Structure 1
């Protein structure tokens, strides 16, 4: 008689492997979502700096602030109006120039709290 040899894994071995995988995922997942948020914050800072630099260049060249963000695009100070990565739109909160017409500054419209405990709209 030949001995039958069982190939494969037992249910206990499979459960141990699955529990180890679940443990690793529970450790990695929160860090992953934290990195996504960090990336959005970096992009928001860069986009705000880009728009603010374009507003300053427009003011230096034209002697006045732009009436709309679209003016920055039509006058070639920006190729496209950058997107707010938190709100997922090109809509920005406009800050009017004191004692002058036009856009002095822009901020995010998001009321979410950032990783440094400040609201994005305060950046």
Structure 2
């Protein structure tokens, strides 16, 4: 005759299902909040990167008396270590530059905006920042 073990080990299927239901209920509350915080962080990083680019453009203009012809001139002349990434598009080459023509027909960059499609959390288009 076999003896029964006094203490059973492990969980029953019902216990595991209850735990899974509780975990999924908690995740359904936490995940949307987490995703909105990621969007807020991307917008803050975008504003900071745009500010850094605009400051570098102004410093270049102040030193050279003209704006650069390409954004890469800011890196080549050491006003920036590297072109910042647009955190919404996750690319360095998606910046939209505003070009104006100076005396002598030279086309220069005097402003930069995000090339991201869509709107920010406040409803304004990224391209208008």
Number of the residue aligned with 1:115: 121
Partner of 1:51: 53
Quote how far apart the aligned CAs of 1:105 are: 0.4
SS state of the match for residue 111, structure 2?
strand
Give the structure-1-normalised TM-score.
Answer: 0.90
- Work out the CA distance in 2 between the residues paired with 1:121 and 1:68: 19
* 1:22-70 residue CA offsets vs partner (Å, 9 max, x unmatched): 1001111111111111111111111100000000001111111111111
Within 5 A, what are the aligned runs for 1:30-49? 30-49=32-51
Query: Cα RMSD between the aligned structures?
Result: 1.6
The TM-score with structure 2 as length reference comes to 0.86
Q: For each residue in 1:60-91, what CA deviation from the matched residue of structure 2 results, as whole angstroms up to 9, or x when unmatched?
A: 11111111111111111111111111111112
* Partners of 2:54 and 2:120 in 1: CA distance: 20
Q: Which runs of 4+ in 1 moved over 4 A?
A: none
1 CA distance for matches of 2:92 and 2:16? 49
Partner of 2:99: 96
Q: Is the partner of 2:14 in helix, strand or coil?
A: helix
Mapping of residues 2-21 of structure 1, within 5 Å: 3-5=4-6, 6-21=8-23
In structure 2, the residue matched to 1:105 is: 111
Structure 1 gaps, min length 5: none
Secondary structure of the residue aligned to 1:113 is: coil
